[in-house]
């Protein structure tokens, strides 16, 4: 039908005295197409070129309703089924299908005050911090009701770091909500089940949430899961675009100091969704206060072997252990700025964590009695050697070799010969 209308318009404009060039400009056509319409005695029929795709259109519509496939993939599929037409026809038909497809409506879920926070990591890969290149990450938490944001940059995503970031976020917010929504991070869940209560949680994380009385929630895998934690996803994008990109930092401490200042400013601005200031809405959250429970201590546990000279190694430094445990395996309970050493579940030493590397931290009391013990052992071994070396043996004197000198040497010493 469209071709028939174009054919009639072209002929009418030409009969009215318009040139081929002006008709082409007015109709948005090539001049060859205008000449084709003028030379044709009848309107052009439906191009058989397009009819080639007809047997495959239902298949294309069905496949697009199932998966967001590309035109290249669809063209490959129907070519294997016998389609002999070009890629462009497939692409044009798919464009009309997608344009006419209704957009799936979604419901925005708003949580009541104090109910939920959402948390996730950002991986910034390798970044320059001053003179050092580090693998940089950022922990982001958002309160669902007030939209208060918190961000902390780290060089590790291990579970102790993950928990410390939570504790810093709670200090920033002044408390914590009843539930926290996560993706399926190993910091949270070791074995994911269909229902969150049936999943096996990370033991260190489990101890942390039980201490605070928090109920964890896990997203569904894939795109559907990402939509359920949209608040933190948008906050992540905001951190990347509004804070991080285009800025340079000399150290991790400087980066975090700037990030926390940025959080204060961002939380004092009107939020685009709630049209209210997050800091003002925070007053209505009713969070469980930080001072309401005993502060949680993050403990990292590692295993070491005590060397024969009574030292263990931790982060590039050597720390002494009581000499009675030389060669034994020990367990470290590591806190923020110190660690305890356990042998057979008994605490045998405590050391403050010393910055730097290649340093030797020795406690005098760890070696008390060692030298007396070694002296006794040496005396016993010496006595044993003497006993074993003389029993039943006859000592035979060995000949002594005497140096031979000219007699004039002796006369010189005795003064019998003049110099």
Last residue in a domain, options 251, 266, 292: 292
Is 223 a member of any domain?
yes
What's the mean pLDDT in 229-235? 89
**Residues 276 and 310 both lie in one domain:** no
User: Is residue 401, in this structure, part of any structural domain at all?
Assistant: no
Q: Do residues 123 and 223 share a domain?
A: yes
Residues 168 and 205 in one domain: yes
Q: Same structural domain for residues 175 and 282?
A: yes
Check residue 411 and give its pLDDT: 56
Whether residue 129 is found in the same domain as residue 91: no
Rg (CA), the chain: 42
Establish if 396 belongs to a structural domain.
Answer: no
Q: Is residue 367 classed exposed, middle or buried when 0-12, 13-18 and 19+ CB atoms within 10 A define those classes?
A: middle
Query: What 3-state class would DSSP assign to 301?
Result: strand
Residue 255 lies inside a defined structural domain of this protein: yes
How many domains would you assign to the chain? 3
Cα 112 → chain centroid:
30
Residues 67 and 153 occupy one common structural domain: no
Separation between Cα atoms, residue 155 and residue 124, nearest integer Å: 10
pLDDT averaged over the chain? 84
Between CA 278 and CA 117 the distance in angstroms is 13
Is the pLDDT confidence value at 387 over 70? yes
Query: 216: which strand partners?
Result: 180
CATH number of the domain that residue 216 is part of: 3.30.420.10
pLDDT at 404 over 90: no
In a domain, residue 108? The reply is no
pLDDT of 168 higher than 70: yes
Q: What is the mean pLDDT of residues 188-199?
A: 82
CA distances from 235 to 72, 110, 165 (A): 35, 16, 16
* Confidence at residue 374, expressed as pLDDT on a 0 to 100 scale: 74
pLDDT: which is higher, 54 or 49:
54
Contacts of 217 (CB under 8 A, 6+ apart): 116, 179, 180, 181, 182, 196
Q: Are residues 142 and 231 in the same domain?
A: yes
pLDDT, tens digit, for every residue of 59-101?
998 888 888 888 888 998 999 999 988 888 888 888 888 776 6
Residue 133 has a pLDDT of 92
104 pLDDT band, cuts 50/70/90, is: low
Confidence of residue 32 (pLDDT cuts 50, 70, 90): confident
Does 58 share its domain with 177?
no
Domain check: are 72 and 121 in the same one? no
pLDDT > 90: percent of the chain: 47
What digits encode the pLDDT tens for the residues 315-370? Answer: 899 999 999 999 999 999 998 889 999 999 999 999 999 988 899 999 999 998 88
| Nearest partner of 78 among 65, 68, 66, 91, judged by Cα | 91
pLDDT per residue over 240-297, tens digit each? Answer: 988 998 888 999 999 999 999 999 999 999 998 889 999 999 999 999 988 888 889 8
Q: What is the pLDDT of residue 313?
A: 95
Q: Domain for residue 359, yes or no?
A: yes
Query: Is residue 131 scored above 60 in pLDDT?
Result: yes
Q: Is residue 25 part of a domain?
A: yes
22-31, 34-43, 299-308, 410-419: range with highest mean pLDDT: 299-308
Domain boundary among 75, 100, 125: 100
Same domain for 143 and 13, yes or no, is: no
Q: Which strands, in side-by-side order, build the sheet including 360-361?
A: 311-314, 317-320, 360-361
Compute the distance between CA of residue 270 and CA of residue 284 in angstroms, rounded to an integer.
Answer: 16
Domain boundary (320, 343, 367) is at 367
Distances (CA, A) of 275 to 269, 283, 300, 356: 9, 16, 42, 48
Top pLDDT among 121 and 34 is at 121
pLDDT, residue 413, reads 47
- Phi/psi for 166 (5° steps) reads -60, -50
Full domain range(s) for residue 149: 116-292
The torsion angles phi and psi of 277, rounded to 5 degrees, stand at: -85, 125
Mark whether 151 and 213 lie in a shared domain: yes
pLDDT score for 419: 44
Exposure b/e, 23-52, CB count within 10 A at least 16 = b: bbeeeebeeebbbebeeeeeeeeeeeeeee
pLDDT (mean) for 376-389 = 76
């Amino acid at each position: 039908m469209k071709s028939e209308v174009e054919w009639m318009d072209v002929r009418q404009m030409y009969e009215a005295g318009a040139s081929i060039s002006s008709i082409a400009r007015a109709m948005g056509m090539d001049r060859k197409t205008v000449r084709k319409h003028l030379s044709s005695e009848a309107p052009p029929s439906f191009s058989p070129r397009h009819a080639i795709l007809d047997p495959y259109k239902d298949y294309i519509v069905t496949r697009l309703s199932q998966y967001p496939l590309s035109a290249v993939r669809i063209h490959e599929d129907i070519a294997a089924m016998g389609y002999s037409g070009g890629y462009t026809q497939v692409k044009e038909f798919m464009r009309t299908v997608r344009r006419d497809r209704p957009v799936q409506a979604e419901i925005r879920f708003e949580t009541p005050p104090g109910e939920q926070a959402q948390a996730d990591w950002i991986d910034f890969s390798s970044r320059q911090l001053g003179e050092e290149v580090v693998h940089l990450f950022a922990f982001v938490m958002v309160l669902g009701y007030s939209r208060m944001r918190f961000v902390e940059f780290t060089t590790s995503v291990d579970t102790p770091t993950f928990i410390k970031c939570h504790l810093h976020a709670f200090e920033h917010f002044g408390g914590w909500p009843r539930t926290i929504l996560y993706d399926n991070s190993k910091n949270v869940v070791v074995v994911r089940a269909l229902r969150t209560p049936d999943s096996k949680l990370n033991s260190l994380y489990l101890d942390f949430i039980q201490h605070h009385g928090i109920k964890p929630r896990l997203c569904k895998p894939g795109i559907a899961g990402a939509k359920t934690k949209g608040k933190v996803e948008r906050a992540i994008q905001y951190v990347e675009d509004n804070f991080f990109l285009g800025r340079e930092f000399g150290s991790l401490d400087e980066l975090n100091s700037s990030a926390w200042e940025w959080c204060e400013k961002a939380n004092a601005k009107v939020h685009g969704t709630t049209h209210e200031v997050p800091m003002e809405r925070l007053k209505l959250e009713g969070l469980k206060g930080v001072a309401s429970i005993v502060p949680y201590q993050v403990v990292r546990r590692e295993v070491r072997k005590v060397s024969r000279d009574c030292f263990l190694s931790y982060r590039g430094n050597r720390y002494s252990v009581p000499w009675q445990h030389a060669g034994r395996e020990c367990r470290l309970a590591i806190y923020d700025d110190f660690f305890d050493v356990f042998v057979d579940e008994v605490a045998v030493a405590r050391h403050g964590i010393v910055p730097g590397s290649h340093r030797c931290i020795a406690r005098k009391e760890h070696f008390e009695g060692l030298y007396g013990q070694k002296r006794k052992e040496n005396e016993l071994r010496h006595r044993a050697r003497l006993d074993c070396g003389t029993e039943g043996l006859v000592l035979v004197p060995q000949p002594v070799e005497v140096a031979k000198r000219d007699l004039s040497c002796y006369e010189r010493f005795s003064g019998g010969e003049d110099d």
